[in-house]
Amino acid sequence: MIISDMSLENIVLLSIAEIVGDFGFKDYARTGGQISLVQGVAGYVGIVYFLIKSLQQGNVLWVNSLWDGVSAVLETAAAYIFLGERLNCWTQYVGIIFIILGMLLLHQGGIKY
Summarize pLDDT for 75-101 with one digit per residue, the tens: 999 999 999 999 999 999 999 999 889
Question: Exposed/middle/buried for 24, CB within 10 Å: 0-12, 13-18, 19+?
Answer: buried
Domain regions of the chain by residue span: 5-109
Q: pLDDT tens-digit profile of 5-36?
A: 678 899 999 999 999 999 999 999 999 999 99
**Cβ atoms 74, 12 nearer than 8 A:** yes
- The values of phi and psi at residue 24, to 5°, are -65, -45
CA 94/CA 72 separation, integer angstroms: 13
Task: Measure the CA–CA gap between 50 and 108, rounded to whole angstroms.
Answer: 22
Using pLDDT thresholds of 50, 70 and 90, give the confidence band for residue 113. very low
